[in-house]
Amino acid sequence: MIVGTRAQLIKMAPVFRELERRDSAYRLVFTGQHTVTMEALLADFGVVTRPEYMYSGPEVSGIARMLFWMPKILFRMLRRRRTLFRNELNRPPTVVVHGDTFSTLLGALAGKLTGCRVAHIESGLRSFNVWNPFPEELTRKLVFRLTDLAFCPGEWASGNMARYNVETVDTGQNTLLDTLRLALADDEPADKTEFKRYCVASVHRFENIFVRQRIEWVAEALERVAEELDVVFVLHPATEKRLRVTGLFLRLCSNPRIHFRERMPYTAFIRLLQASVFVLTDGGSNQEELYYMQKPTLILRNATERREGIGERAVLCGFEQDVVDGFLEKVWREGRGEDILASDIHPSPRIVDRLLRDGRGAEQA
């Protein structure tokens, strides 16, 4: 199990827990793409398997650092191939990767180079525009070609894998649905904000924060929303750095209805989203979470590889202020619907069922 980012760990946690519930051992490898709060997330979700670290330096947040980090991690994984990529029977195991990050590509490439079977969770998602989102769309296309077993979160994603020579498993929904169940089942009381009515903003994508025109548009959109209600802006470190460099941090700070918050534990963040009126985000995982909770969502992107909520309570902004105004009017008119967390679909056990079938086959051989 190769994990690099917080989002990947959050989505993979219910798979890890299901493996542990069945007393099925697995090797958990952290690439170090993200380092902050990773241990805390393991504790929050009750994952007991200890990770093996490929990197323990500063968090990989910039493009220059990413280009230096990638070959280093690939080299380290290949150098340790005899321990990382061999099972108890000295056979190549299944290497499981998730999503669309550089860690996904590194894990799939290392798995393929060492003769392993590569399984890709959250496979088949596409925007069909290599530049939007970039580099995630390109990363997915490369990973698809390295994949042997594709776990697809729905019929549409499964259909997108038809052109590739892979075995596909339709998991029905994203594993994030199981993650939300874990988070919302927590008996801890929700953190209270000082605002009766508020929205939440979360922005972190490269194409938004590293393009001056985009980040300025986002700032203007937040100011427009702040005319209607308070905005709780949850800051990623890279986003805060770019806001300060561009001078937008002080500008937004001067607005009495825009309130910055540091990143918080996952359960606390989900409770914050749950109690909000609506959310502005450029995160794909957020889009899915909010769809499951039926929370109105303004997606700060031109295109998305996910279909959840689009045409219902999720709106792609296309970086048009008229769309922001139209979204606000729709929110006041329609409110929110009933969440679908009561669905009887549980993706994580489906994934574990299939993975363990491979394991039993190896033992029998």
Instruction: Spell out the residues 6+ positions from residue 336 whose beta carbon is closer than 8 angstroms to its own.
Output: 294, 295, 296, 313
pLDDT digits (tens, 9 = 90+) for 289-311: 999 888 999 999 998 888 888 88
Asked whether the predicted pLDDT for residue 363 surpasses 50, the reply is no
Residue 319 pLDDT: 94
Cα–Cα distance measured from residue 258 to residue 200, given in angstroms and rounded to the nearest whole number: 10
Cα–Cα distance measured from residue 296 to residue 278, given in angstroms and rounded to the nearest whole number: 5
Strands of the sheet containing 94-98, edge to edge, are: 94-98, 117-121, 149-152, 167-170
Residue 190 pLDDT: 53
If one counts every other C-beta atom within 10 angstroms of the C-beta of residue 345, the result is 14
pLDDT average, residue stretch 256-264: 93
**β-bridge mates for residue 120, sequence order:** 97, 150
Residue 309 pLDDT: 86
Buried b (16+ CB within 10 A) or exposed e, 309-331: beeebbbbbebeeeebeebbeeb
First-residue to last-residue Cα distance in the chain: 22
Phi, psi (degrees; rounded to nearest 5) at 240: -60, -40
Cα–Cα distance measured from residue 97 to residue 158, given in angstroms and rounded to the nearest whole number: 17
User: 232 near 264, Cβ under 8 Å?
Assistant: no
Alpha carbons within 13 A on the beta-carbon side of 318: 8
pLDDT average, residue stretch 259-282: 92
Residue 15 pLDDT: 98
Positive/negative CA dihedral, 106, 112, 113, 114: positive
pLDDT digits (tens, 9 = 90+) for 243-255: 999 999 999 999 9
Taking alpha carbons only, the member of 186, 183, 144, 196 closest to residue 167 is 144
Provide the pLDDT confidence category of residue 191 given band limits of 50, 70 and 90: low
Domains in the chain with CATH codes: 2-183+345-364 (3.40.50.2000), 192-263+276-334 (3.40.50.2000)
Which tokens in the block code for residue 120? 């890709």
3-state secondary structure of 262: strand
**β-bridge mates for residue 98, sequence order:** 121
Mean pLDDT, rounded, of the chain: 90
Higher pLDDT among residues 185 and 78, named by residue? 78
Provide the pLDDT confidence category of residue 92 given band limits of 50, 70 and 90: confident
Residue 364 pLDDT: 39
Angle at 175 between CA 136 and CA 18, to 5 degrees: 130
Residue 365 pLDDT: 34
User: 203 near 300, Cβ under 8 Å?
Assistant: yes
Taking alpha carbons only, the member of 81, 78, 70 closest to residue 33 is 70
3-state secondary structure of 18: helix
Provide the pLDDT confidence category of residue 339 given band limits of 50, 70 and 90: low
Cα–Cα distance measured from residue 7 to residue 3, given in angstroms and rounded to the nearest whole number: 9
If one counts every other C-beta atom within 10 angstroms of the C-beta of residue 35, the result is 17
Residue 362 pLDDT: 44
Residue 360 pLDDT: 55
Asked whether the predicted pLDDT for residue 335 surpasses 70, the reply is no
Asked whether the predicted pLDDT for residue 353 surpasses 90, the reply is yes
**β-bridge mates for residue 261, sequence order:** 234
Asked whether the predicted pLDDT for residue 281 surpasses 70, the reply is yes
Which has the minimum average pLDDT: 25-29, 53-57, 214-218, 339-343? 339-343
